[in-house]
């Protein structure tokens, strides 16, 4: 009995039409990254599980795909080990699929530190895997496009990341807003509210303001033991309005007793100043509630949202001062952002904004009505291909109707019809399938028919 074929849930096949859209996105980000002086690297799909475990929190550990040891994975496993699934899985699986590109990058930098020229500007476009519950827009295998610079403290790196975002989404024809915050400002807010120890609780709560509103945020703060006086300090920050400059001046006042908070305000002032002077086309906004999980970030925090759809974040990142420390290389600061290719695909798709010529398909199909006709076509198709014009000969000698249908379904714009008459007179009948126009040309003119 034949198997009914399927693929694991949360994974996808990509058809030629989907590939064209995806390649459009990858080529765009790649071209922009290179223009800004970033170089590509790749890391293996599998990392040692010890490299990955403990880097993404307890929840993240659960979402790692583990790879069974090859050979006899269960030799040495005793019945009592079955009672502890976690430790058993780590015993029989020494490897796991990468969960993101950031931890492998940190591992790469430490492992290859002697070969790397710092500051190291790298980009990386590869799939990652997470055993998340699959749902609309969330997959178990998806691509990240990461761009990071490591080994430099200058805020010009932050400026360049904003310029890269502006450039990429401009080229993709999407209207976006770049939201910016600074982790030090969040620390300052926690400090002046008298709850420096509750930084995580505070930021997790205020990060939700867009979704749940100010009243629910306040409720959550109270429930975490933040007192009314503290909330009275935090609330006006979240509802600050006006120009970025004015907001930052207000924040300087509010955070005047927090050294780290003032440092954060200063960094934001400098970054917004750089962005102002460089000039970017997209909207850039100070968002004092932006936190993005906080895992690594120590300075700037970025998030990019599509202004034309309700798709959440399509790109995000920030500065991290000690990413490589976990692998033994201390004091190397970096900053980077990650483009979510799958979500960007969904946005462009929803807005129907893929360029119509993104599918670089075949331009000419030569019909095949017999051996003589086929042999007549072979050198002609060769000439076209040598000129870089994608072309095909229909391989089988079947009814012309079927060959027409093939061209039509494949979206091939031109049909080169070869019959007795054409061979006798050294001609080609060339039919434009979109206009229906058909003309007879000298076979020597084939190449000129497609040059313009």
Subset of 60-79 contacting a copy of itself (CB under 8 A):
62-63, 65-68, 70-75, 77-79
Distance CA 373, CA 378 (A): 9
Q: Which of residues 76-95 bind a copy of itself (CB under 8 A)?
A: 77-79, 82, 85, 88-89, 92-95
| 130-149: contacts with a copy of itself (CB under 8 A) | 131, 140-141, 149
Give whichever of 100 and 219 is closer to a copy of itself, judged by the CB atom: 100
> Rounded CA gap, 226 and 222, in Å?
5
Local structure of residue 182 (DSSP, 8 states): E
**Biggest CA-to-CA distance, the chain:** 95
Q: Would you give the DSSP letter of residue 3?
A: P
The answer to the question of residue 423 lying near a copy of itself (CB under 8 A) is no
Shortest Cβ 365–a copy of itself spacing (Å): 8
**Contact call for residue 16 and a copy of itself (CB under 8 A):** yes
Scanning residues 21 to 40, which ones bind a copy of itself (CB under 8 A)?
Answer: 23, 34-37, 39-40
Helix, strand, or coil (residue 386): helix
Contact 406, 398 (CB under 8 A): no
Q: How far apart are CA 41 and CA 53, in angstroms?
A: 22
Residue number, 70 or 435, with CB nearest to a copy of itself: 70
Q: Closer to a copy of itself by CB, 123 or 209: give it.
A: 123
Give the β-pairing of 391-393 and 364-366.
parallel
CB of 353 to a copy of itself, least distance (A): 21
Among 251, 391, 414, 446, binds a copy of itself (CB under 8 A): 391
Distance CA 172, CA 31 (A): 12
- Of the candidates 274, 280, 20, the one whose C-alpha atom is nearest the C-alpha of residue 170 is 280
Instruction: Out of 146, 321, 373, 392, name the contact with a copy of itself by CB under 8 A.
Output: 392
Rule CB under 8 A: which of 258-287 touch a copy of itself?
274, 277-278
The three-state (H, E, C) secondary structure of 402-445, written as one string: HHHHHHHHHCCCEEEECCHHHHHCCEEEEEECCCCCEEEEEHHH
Q: Which of 195, 223, 344, 374 binds a copy of itself (CB under 8 A)?
A: 374
CA–CA distance, 206 with 451 (Å, rounded to integer) = 59
Write out the binding residues for a copy of itself, residues 335-364 only, by CB under 8 A. Answer: 360-362
Residues 6+ apart with CB under 8 A from 62: 131
Number of residues that bind a copy of itself (CB under 8 A): 110
Q: Restricting to residues 102-131, which ones interact with a copy of itself according to CB under 8 A?
A: 107-108, 110-112, 115, 117, 119, 121-122, 127, 129, 131
**Cβ at position 72, least distance to a copy of itself in Å:** 5
> Which of positions 198-257 make contact with a copy of itself (CB under 8 A)?
none
Of these, 194, 283, 395, 426, which contacts a copy of itself (CB under 8 A)? 395
Within 13 Å and on the Cβ side, how many CA atoms surround 234?
34
Kindly state whether residue 443 participates in binding a copy of itself, applying the rule CB under 8 A: no
Nearer to a copy of itself by Cβ, of 277 and 452: the residue is 277
Backbone angles phi, psi at 60, to 5 degrees: -65, -40
């Amino acid at each position: 009995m034949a198997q009914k074929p399927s693929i694991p849930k949360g994974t996808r096949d990509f058809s030629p039409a989907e590939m064209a859209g995806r390649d459009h996105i990858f080529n765009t980000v790649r071209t922009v990254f290179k223009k800004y002086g970033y170089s590509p690297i790749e890391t293996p799909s599998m990392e040692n599980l010890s490299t990955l475990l403990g880097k993404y929190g307890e929840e993240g550990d659960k979402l790692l795909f583990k790879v069974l040891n090859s050979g006899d994975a269960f030799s040495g496993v005793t019945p009592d080990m079955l009672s502890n699934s976690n430790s058993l899985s780590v015993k029989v699986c020494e490897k796991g699929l990468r969960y993101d590109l950031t931890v492998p990058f940190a591992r790469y930098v430490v492992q290859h530190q002697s070969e790397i020229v710092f500051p190291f500007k790298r980009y990386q476009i590869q799939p990652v895997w997470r055993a998340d519950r699959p749902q609309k827009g969330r997959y178990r295998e998806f691509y990240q496009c990461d761009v990071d610079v490591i080994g430099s403290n200058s805020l010009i790196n932050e400026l360049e990341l904003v310029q890269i975002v502006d450039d990429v989404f401009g080229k993709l024809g999407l209207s976006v807003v770049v939201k910016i915050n600074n982790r030090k400002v969040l620390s300052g807010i926690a400090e002046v509210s008298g709850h420096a120890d509750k930084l995580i609780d505070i930021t997790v709560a205020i990060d939700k303001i867009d979704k749940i509103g100010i009243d629910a945020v306040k409720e959550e703060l109270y429930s975490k033991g933040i007192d009314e006086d503290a909330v009275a300090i935090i609330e006006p920050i979240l509802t600050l309005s006006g120009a970025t400059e004015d907001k930052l001046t207000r924040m300087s006042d509010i955070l005047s007793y927090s050294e780290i908070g003032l440092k954060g305000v200063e960094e934001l002032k400098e970054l917004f100043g750089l962005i102002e002077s460089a000039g970017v086309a997209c909207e850039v906004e100070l968002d004092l509630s932006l936190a993005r999980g906080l895992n690594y970030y120590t300075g700037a925090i970025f998030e990019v949202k599509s202004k034309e759809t309700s798709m959440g974040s399509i790109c995000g990142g920030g500065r991290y001062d000690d990413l490589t420390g976990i692998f033994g290389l201390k004091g190397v600061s970096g900053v980077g952002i990650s483009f979510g290719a799958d979500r960007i695909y969904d946005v462009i798709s929803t807005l129907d904004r893929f360029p119509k010529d993104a599918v670089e398909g075949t331009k000419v199909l030569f019909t095949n009505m017999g051996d003589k006709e086929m042999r007549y076509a072979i050198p002609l198709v060769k000439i076209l291909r040598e000129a870089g014009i994608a072309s095909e000969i229909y391989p089988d000698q079947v009814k012309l109707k079927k060959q027409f249908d093939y061209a039509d379904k494949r979206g091939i714009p031109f049909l080169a019809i070869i019959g007795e008459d054409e061979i006798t007179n050294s001609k080609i009948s060339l039919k434009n399938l979109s206009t229906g126009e058909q003309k007879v040309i000298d076979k020597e003119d084939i190449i000129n028919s497609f040059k313009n």
